[in-house]
Amino acid sequence: METVPKKIIIVDDNVINLTAARNALVQKYDIFTVTSGTKLFQMLDKLMPDLILLDIDMPVMDGYEVIKILKGSAKTSEIPVIFLTAVIDPQSELKGLSLGAIDYITKPFSQELLLKRIEVHLFVESQKKRLMIYSNNLEEVVEEKRKTIFELQNTILKTVAELVESRDNITGGHIERTQNYLKFLVDALIKHGVYTEELSSWDVGLFIMSSQLHDVGKISIRDNILLKPAKLTTEEFFEMKRHTAFGMNIIRKIEESTKENAFLKHARILAGSHHEKWDGSGYLLGLKGDAIPLQGRLMAIVDVYDALTNTRPYKEALSHETALEIIRQGIGEHFDPLIGEIFLEHEDELKQIAGTESRNFYFTTTAGMGDLDSSVLSTVANIVDTRGGTENSPTSKIQYYLRVFIEALAKHERYGREVSSWDIDIILLSAQLHDVGKISISDNILKKTEQLTSEEYEEIKAHTNIGIKVVNNIREQINEGELLHHAEALVGSHHEKWDGTGYPLNLKGEAIPLQGRLMAIVDVYDALTSNRPQRKRIPHAEAVEIIKSYAGTYFDPELVSVFVAQEANFLKASGKTR
């Protein structure tokens, strides 16, 4: 394919010089000649060149004045300019370069040298343009990736938060609806000029996202209380109220291990204060009036409205009108009067939101993401670990073990190629979801101190299928590829066994995804060297011997060999002695 010749304008008041330069270049480039700066600007109204050769010493308007005008105009500032002049003193050259020229070529010039200098500069300029286009495209790709990650994080949080709320239902909609009510209410407050000073200091996107964790403490409430269809006893209600303290503690633990602050700060405040009441009769601390954080006052009213208008284990849903009347009666006692009045003023819009099927249609911001990649998934992992009753959240140790394993496998003759194609940071993030299905397992099984019955064991095995359901639910809402691909492999296959006796699909040998075979060893090692409700941890050396004894039955024998070669690194993370 023929390339279009580059366009060059030569500016010189000397016709002989113009002719010489034109003759030197015309075989390779489209050449246009003008005899003054004024005529140059007239020509620039009709065409844009790839390069300008500009004489300095010209009457009326010299080359310095011409280049100042060129560089001062958005239309012409990017056109490269080379001075073609007999002026060769260093100060003149420095002045021209300072004004934006890319080079000096002195007259009389060598035709070969002129061609080569122009060729080099045009190549450099074309590379700069390509780099600029690539950079702009890269910014678009990065921004699109940011949006995808943000949507993914939001979807993961929503899915897990729904599971926390109901144990076995990830389509209940409470989390999604309260997000939408909150966003609408914040916008309405700003519109009415209420609490605008404080609200303007928030990243509203992060606040709405963090609201999904307002009831995270319910993960620590016993099933027979959380799902009880009858009225709670005084003792049961006392335990239920503790979910606010549990939630704050879970989030505080995450804050200690992440740099992200605003998202978790909002989440902690919401978890701890959304059951406080304006008159001081609420809980956790019995705060009163403005002493209740604004986040909690906002969540209190949307949480109650959603609870009233939807079915709960202990009651049927009330009508929109009945719910609003109850809220109206609670203004000044349960609810902040200013927030309550504005909430009621927009009852038609609230009813519309309640009846809308679209997902998070008010929630579109991606601002202030910070380090949310790690903190969101750490949040999920901590929720799961709290549910499972494990000590000190083993997630970070499991990530360390996996990193050691994967880095060693990258040099492995058999598995090196596959492992080298992974983004190790993505797989470590996804590993935090490997036991997410445990959220839906009954706590009397997860925390049982005696050996499980066969029926109980069947129930606990269901956590893999529940976990796959969680990942698929997330994928239906945000089709993110790599992280969910690894998560699905880890969630669904880390209890499969090399000999085909594992679960849920009785996969055998290399039919088990490599991610699952890796996690199987890591998960068992961590379980053996950590305290569990039913037993105490065992020493590192004994755990290694147990894993070695199951090479070829439970575990991929080649992976066991790599594990044994790396056992010293596992020992460092386990924090135990031999």
pLDDT tens-place string over residues 559-577: 999 999 999 988 876 654 3
Average pLDDT over residues 111-127: 87
d(C-alpha 298, C-alpha 330), whole Å: 14
pLDDT in tens, 194-206: 999 999 999 898 8
* pLDDT for residue 363: 42
Burial of 412 (0-12, 13-18, 19+ CB in 10 A): middle
Q: Under 8 Å CB-to-CB from 548, ≥6 apart: which residues?
A: 560, 564
Q: Write out the two tokens for 221.
A: 């409430």
Contact (Cβ atoms closer than 8 angstroms) between residue 431 and residue 402:
yes
Strands 51-54 and 7-11: parallel
The DSSP code for 52 is E
Which of 126-140, 237-251, 325-339 comes out lowest in average pLDDT? 126-140
| 306 closest CA partner among 288, 323, 331 | 323
Entry pTM: 0.62
Contact (Cβ atoms closer than 8 angstroms) between residue 194 and residue 201:
no
In three-state form (DSSP H/G/I as H, E/B as E, the rest C), the secondary structure along 260-320 is: CCHHHHHHHHHHHHCCCCCCCCCCCCCCCHHHCCHHHHHHHHHHHHHHHCCCECCECCCCH
Which of 14-23, 378-387, 463-472 comes out lowest in average pLDDT? 378-387
Which of 108-117, 229-238, 386-395, 463-472 has the highest mean predicted lDDT (pLDDT)?
Answer: 229-238
Percentage above 70 pLDDT, the chain = 83
pLDDT in tens, 210-243: 888 898 888 878 878 888 888 899 999 999 999 9
Residue 223, helix vs strand vs coil: helix
Q: Under 8 Å CB-to-CB from 428, ≥6 apart: which residues?
A: 399, 402, 403
pLDDT at 544 over 80: yes
Cα angle 438-444-447, degrees, rounded to a multiple of 5? 70
Q: What phi and psi values does residue 312 have, to the nearest 5 degrees?
A: -125, 165
Residue 221, helix vs strand vs coil: coil
In three-state form (DSSP H/G/I as H, E/B as E, the rest C), the secondary structure along 111-168 is: HHHHHHHHHHHHHHHHHHHHHHHHHHHHHHHHHHHHHHHHHHHHHHHHHHHHHHHHCC
* pLDDT for residue 371: 42
Which of 279-293, 333-347, 473-487 comes out lowest in average pLDDT? 473-487
Amino acid at 525: Y
* pLDDT for residue 93: 82
pLDDT in tens, 411-450: 888 899 999 999 888 888 888 888 888 877 877 888 888 8
Residue 105, helix vs strand vs coil: strand
* pLDDT for residue 217: 85
Average pLDDT over residues 455-482: 82
d(C-alpha 349, C-alpha 477), whole Å: 25
| 562 closest CA partner among 528, 527, 514 | 514
* pLDDT for residue 522: 95
Q: What phi and psi values does residue 356 have, to the nearest 5 degrees?
A: -95, 135
Tokens 């609201």 sit at which residue? 211
Band of residue 362 on the pLDDT scale cut at 50, 70, 90: very low
Average pLDDT over residues 166-195: 82
Average pLDDT, the chain: 84
Q: Write out the two tokens for 418.
A: 């596959």
Instruction: Establish how many alpha carbons lie within 13 A of residue 564's alpha carbon, considering only the half-sphere containing its beta carbon.
Output: 16
**Which is more confidently placed, 357 or 185?**
185
* pLDDT for residue 2: 55
Average pLDDT over residues 524-550: 90
CA 251 to mean position of chain CA atoms: 18
* pLDDT for residue 524: 95
Go through the domains of the chain in sequence order and give each one's CATH number: 7-109 (3.40.50.2300), 144-354 (1.10.3210.10), 389-574 (1.10.3210.10)
Cα angle 482-488-494, degrees, rounded to a multiple of 5? 125
* pLDDT for residue 142: 62
**Which is more confidently placed, 339 or 485?**
339
Contact (Cβ atoms closer than 8 angstroms) between residue 53 and residue 94:
no
Tokens 């706590």 sit at which residue? 443
The DSSP code for 452 is P
Band of residue 326 on the pLDDT scale cut at 50, 70, 90: very high
Amino acid at 545: E
* pLDDT for residue 247: 87
Burial of 254 (0-12, 13-18, 19+ CB in 10 A): buried
d(C-alpha 103, C-alpha 140), whole Å: 34
Average pLDDT over residues 294-309: 95
The DSSP code for 259 is S
Amino acid at 560: V
Residue 217, helix vs strand vs coil: helix
d(C-alpha 148, C-alpha 65), whole Å: 50
Q: Write out the two tokens for 541.
A: 């050396």
pLDDT in tens, 252-278: 877 776 665 677 899 899 999 999 999
Q: End-to-end CA distance of the chain, in Å?
A: 71
What is the torsion angle, in degrees rounded to the nearest 10, for the CA atoms of residue 494, residue 372, residue 159 and residue 172? 170
| 205 closest CA partner among 258, 147, 166 | 147
CA 445 to mean position of chain CA atoms: 33
* pLDDT for residue 318: 93
Beginning with the edge strand found earlier in the chain, give each strand of the sheet holding 103-106 in spatial order: 30-34, 7-11, 51-54, 81-85, 103-106
Characterize 88-105 residue by residue with b for buried, 16 or more Cβ atoms within 10 angstroms of its Cβ, and e for exposed. eeeebbebbeebebebbb
Q: Write out the two tokens for 301.
A: 């009213």
Longest dimension (CA), the chain: 105
